[in-house]
Structure 1
Amino acid sequence: MLGCRDASNGYSEYICMHCGQDRRKIPFSCKSCFCLSCAKQYVDNFVGQVSTMLHPGVIYRHIVLTLPEQLRPVFFKERFNKDLLSQFIK
């Protein structure tokens, strides 16, 4: 991740087929879901897949919840309990 899109770690070079003068170096990416620039592609693909299942005309919000460290074991044990998560959201 630290060397993502750094040309010193490798790159592809493209040359114009017409004039042969224009050269472009495209550095390799890490393709990790933990890398902020590479993860955007994963997110965009996920959103594209989910958007095909959503109802038209309904406004959806994406939220990310962060739990205090003391509550994490409880929610981990009950991670498949939809009632607990529903009550927590309410």
Structure 2
Amino acid sequence: MVMQVDGRRRRHSAAERRAVLARFAASEVGVAAFCRSESISVGTLRRWQSLNDRDDAPRAAAPGFVDLGALGGGGALTIELDLGGGLVLRVRRG
């Protein structure tokens, strides 16, 4: 693959990136040699690998509406939402 076209950087489609990663996985050469043969940098290959890993990661389903009234009458209730980054939202009733 050619990295530059008319002196400009070439953009690779997602399908092209996956094909390069598949060839790398099947190859028996080192990273540097493989990248030279594909005319890409080692950093580019590593970035594509991380993007591919992120795309393959399972995603949590978006929660729907939760009717808290259906959880019971007047008893105590605590709901915790993990917002990420160490933030937790707690709502207590009762």
Range class of TM-score, shorter chain: under 0.3
Q: Output the TM-score relative to the length of structure 2.
A: 0.22
Q: Which structure has greater helix proportion?
A: 2
